[in-house]
Structure 1
Amino acid sequence: MIMKKLFLLLVTLFVFSGATFAAVNINTASQAELESLQGIGPAKAKAIIDYRKKKGSFKSVDDLQNVSGIGPATVQKLRKDITVGGGTAGRKEHKPAARE
């Protein structure tokens, strides 16, 4: 009985931890998604969203340093948890061969 409860607990933790391993896209994240990042509270999340609205999409994770209140140490701490793209890195565009 104890083993069954322990197993269920581990399965539950595994299921709910899946969302924490997904990188947050700082170009599309909601206020709540940004606040889920360690060190980003309501004020910094709002500043990120305001920056996006005013300046456009972030080109790189390092561009996050341009947001007021976010410095290099914060970016370094968040680097593994954030992204600016939709997972298209390394994908090459297929171009048809030119006809003669």
Structure 2
Amino acid sequence: MFNYRTLAVALTAFLVASPVFAVKPAVAETTKVAEAANSSVAVTLLKMNLNKSDLKELMKVKGMSAAKARKIVSYRKKHGDFKSMDDLKKVKGFAKMKPALKKAVDEQLTV
């Protein structure tokens, strides 16, 4: 006999999981593998694209202030797309960032 409870659980799981797979075009997905105890666990990190992200998306980067996000967007409008992550040093204020904060921000961005 068919179990409607199983069908309801499967449909609910599908509906809950489907937004997870919707990725904005400004976000690139990379995967790192970390070993935890006896098994390996895949950790997914989302990186914001410097050339495609708008002001609101850049402000979601941990360690990124609204002022720094505005400077990135302004620099991009004046000089065009970033060619590499090193180009971020050309944006006012980024060359003087503390190394730990710069590393944290760089890990969340891509070109």
Q: TM-score, normalised by structure 2?
A: 0.54
Structure 1 residue 40 corresponds to structure 2 residue 64: yes
* Larger relative helix fraction: 1
Contact 2:64 2:105 survives alignment (8 Å): no
Secondary structure at the aligned position of 2:107 is classed as: helix
Hey, what's the Cα distance between the residues in 2 that align with 1:29 and 1:75? 18
* Larger relative strand fraction: 2
Q: Give the alignment of 1:81-100 within 5 angstroms.
A: 81-84=108-111
Q: CA RMSD in A?
A: 2.5
Matched positions, count: 71
Q: Which runs of 5+ in 2 are unaligned?
A: 1-15, 28-43
Find runs of 4+ consecutive structure 1 residues off by over 4 angstroms. Answer: none
Question: Which residue number in structure 1 is paired with residue 84 of structure 2?
Answer: 60
Q: Which runs of 5+ in 1 are unaligned?
A: 1-10, 85-100
